[in-house]
Structure 1
Amino acid sequence: MGNGKVALILTCLIFVIFFTSCVAKNSPVQHGSLIYKSNDYALCKLEKEGSFAQLATIHLGDKKWVWKIEDANNINTLREDSFVAIPLKEKNMGGLFENGYQSVPILCYHKFGTDRSSPLTIPSHVFNQQMKYLKDNGYRVISPKNLLDFLEYRGQIPKKSVLITMDDGYRSVYDVAWPILKKYEFTATIFVYTNYVGISKKAMSWEDLRTLKAHGFTIGSHTVSHRDLTQKQPDETADTFYNHIKEEVFLSKKIIDRELSQDTICLSFPYGRYSPDLLKIAESVGYRMAVTVERGSNPFFSNPLALKRDMILKKDMKSFISRLKTFNNLSLK
């Protein structure tokens, strides 16, 4: 027998021994629809029609993790005999992929209804179209906590994540926007300035905000009086200006904390304006995340205290869709 054939036989024997040992260690587990499980993945073959939510409940402990299964599989509906991969570990924290990196758009709204005199008002039917587009196209509305985990490289988020925010605390958020958000199983982050809460029928009350919070909304600060935190008034010295600004961000947090029994960590800068000193003040009083109105979306290496955010003012869908950039193409090989 030639040396070449001996070498080939030895190679084959080594492969067989290695493969056998692997099978012994990682043999498939037969348990209902589960046919294989490793430390990283579970592989299921459906015996009857099911849903990703059912698989998330069984294998990940809660249906809220359904997006992990949907992101890992390229099928939209489950049929009998479908094979489904279920990731059991966090993957792509920071949203880094070979062909680019993830970014999170933050949408900014104010009022809703039929008031055509204000450019800040979005008609209810337009808002419904926008939310329907998000739902129909696989976008996931996340919370500030989810976004903060992503920014601090602590947790994975859905590939098509978006954060919805609403500034000031108008009552139309409660009356008009909330029923539409509820229809699509979305929530939002509400930024209120405390002097406006409960001031009239056009403003939300603290009880309204407590109700929204109980239904999964996040309530953040928009300061006390909504003054421009970057502009010193003529009668202010440098010291009094600094103290007034600190009071705006500190006192609003203190009031919201007391009224809603929470630790308020999110801040929206009035008019979206900020300065380096303001960022230091915001961090010093306990905010961990703050938003501007600078256009663009946010990759994980963004500054959590100066996040970009798009104001939704135009009423056409083309403009809305242009604000939904969730991926940046870039070869990372």
Structure 2
Amino acid sequence: MNKNMKYFFLILILVLSFLIGYLSTMSIWKNETIPIEIQISQVESLNSMHVEVEHAVQPQLEKTLQLTIEESSRRQLSTTSLVNEEVVVLLYHHILKDEENPYENNYSVISYNYFEDHLKYLSENGYTTISLKDLEDFLYNQTPLPKKSVLITFDDGYLSNFTYAFPLLAAYGMQGVVFPITHAVEEKSVVFDPNKRDKLSWGQIGVTDDVFEYGSHTHNLHQLIYGQPAIFAFSDKTIREDLLTSMELLNTTAVAYPFGAYDEATIDIVKELGYKLGFTTKEGRVTQETDPYEIPRYGMFSYTSVKVLEDILDNKQ
């Protein structure tokens, strides 16, 4: 056999080894197993065709294939370690500094220091903040998420979310979701006053989309009617119109039920309108078996220290 033919078959063997490495790597993402049984057998099959290959090629080919297989195994293990089977959703409301808080008996107001401590703990312990789309894909398409994934949410749309939460989240490279009551969103921005419970303005909503995304907390159903949540008191027609208004104003497909109140009729309306995610105030962890319209959240309150947060994240509560 002439020298050109030897080079041809040598190149053919190296091309085969490359294809095997590529296919074995791709199989990780498709959860398939591609048997790799080439090595000497490939060379022998070529020999059976009366191809004369230099003996030095065989050990080199075996070494190449072995390295490819080992690298594929390492990647598979690494990918597996990044897959998360559950998500923790955190629920905040109002944030104030200790020295300016006039609502000492309102447990839904968390201190600025506690909130910053929470973000610091998440950052230092390898947690990843995810988006609404990430969670939607996790629930509907079984799309894997990074290990230690959390979703940070804020209900009601307080101005303190813009004043305090927004810059802190940005500083830590994190993101969050605000659920404002769209009826209460200010037409013009106001100066932050800790003695008032002012809400975000439309202008502030528009300039914070690099950190915040926004979901509905209804348009004007966050109220009590004769002691019961409006979502139970009003007609289906009124509820449908309200939810549609909020949905269109915010261009969202996520809703946080006001006061955590909802029933089967509420879910039917939410589905009919095209919402994809519904957030409750029930505590629990989100898995791929969780109903997308009954997503649990852990409330973060005035007494939620870093130790309490740690216990929640470690599933000790």
Q: 2:138 aligns with which of 137, 150, 153?
A: 150
Greater mean deviation of Cα atoms: 104-113 or 199-208: 199-208
Between Structure 1 and Structure 2, how many residues are aligned? 243
TM-score normalised to the size of structure 2? 0.68
User: Corresponding residue for 1:231?
Assistant: 232
Report Cα offsets for 1:215-265 as digits up to 9, x if no partner: 142110000121324422xxxxxxx612121122111112223xxxxxx11
Are the structure 2 counterparts of residues 325 and 25 from structure 1 closer, same or farther at C-alpha, using a change threshold of 3 Å?
farther
Are the structure 2 counterparts of residues 156 and 144 from structure 1 closer, same or farther at C-alpha, using a change threshold of 3 Å?
same
Q: Which runs of 4+ in 1 moved over 3 A?
A: 21-29, 84-95
Task: Give the whole-Å Cα distance in 2 for the aligned partners of 1:320 and 1:242.
Answer: 38
CA contact (8 A) 2:254 2:276 kept: yes
Runs (5+) with no aligned partner, structure 1: 1-20, 30-35, 43-83, 96-101, 233-239, 258-263, 328-333
User: Corresponding residue for 1:196?
Assistant: 184
Report Cα offsets for 1:160-191 as digits up to 9, x if no partner: 11000001111110111111111110010010
Q: Give secondary structure in 2 for the equivalent of 1:163.
A: strand
TM-score normalised to the size of structure 1? 0.65
User: Corresponding residue for 1:123?
Assistant: 111
Residue type at the aligned position of 1:221: S
Task: Give the whole-Å Cα distance in 2 for the aligned partners of 1:185 and 1:280.
Answer: 37
Q: Following TM superposition, by how much is the alpha carbon of 1:23 offset from its aligned partner in structure 2, in angstroms?
A: 8.0
Are the structure 2 counterparts of residues 22 and 144 from structure 1 closer, same or farther at C-alpha, using a change threshold of 3 Å?
farther
Runs (5+) with no aligned partner, structure 2: 1-11, 30-72, 192-197, 224-228
User: Corresponding residue for 1:172?
Assistant: 160
CA contact (8 A) 1:93 1:153 kept: no
CA contact (8 A) 1:40 1:88 kept: no
CA contact (8 A) 1:224 1:249 kept: yes
Give the number of the structure whose residues are more often helix, by fraction.
2
RMSD: 3.4
Larger Rg: 2
Task: Give the whole-Å Cα distance in 1 for the aligned partners of 2:137 and 2:315.
Answer: 17
Q: 2:238 aligns with which of 232, 235, 244?
A: 244
User: Corresponding residue for 1:25?
Assistant: 16
CA contact (8 A) 1:141 1:164 kept: yes
Q: Give secondary structure in 2 for the equivalent of 1:146.
A: helix
User: Corresponding residue for 2:25?
Assistant: 38
Task: Give the whole-Å Cα distance in 2 for the aligned partners of 1:306 and 1:216.
Answer: 25
Alignment of 1:1-333 (within 5 A): 25-27=16-18, 38-40=25-27, 85-86=74-75, 95=84, 102-114=85-97, 115-117=101-103, 118-198=106-186, 201=191, 202-213=198-209, 215-225=210-220, 226-227=222-223, 228-232=229-233, 241-257=235-251, 264-313=252-301, 314-325=303-314
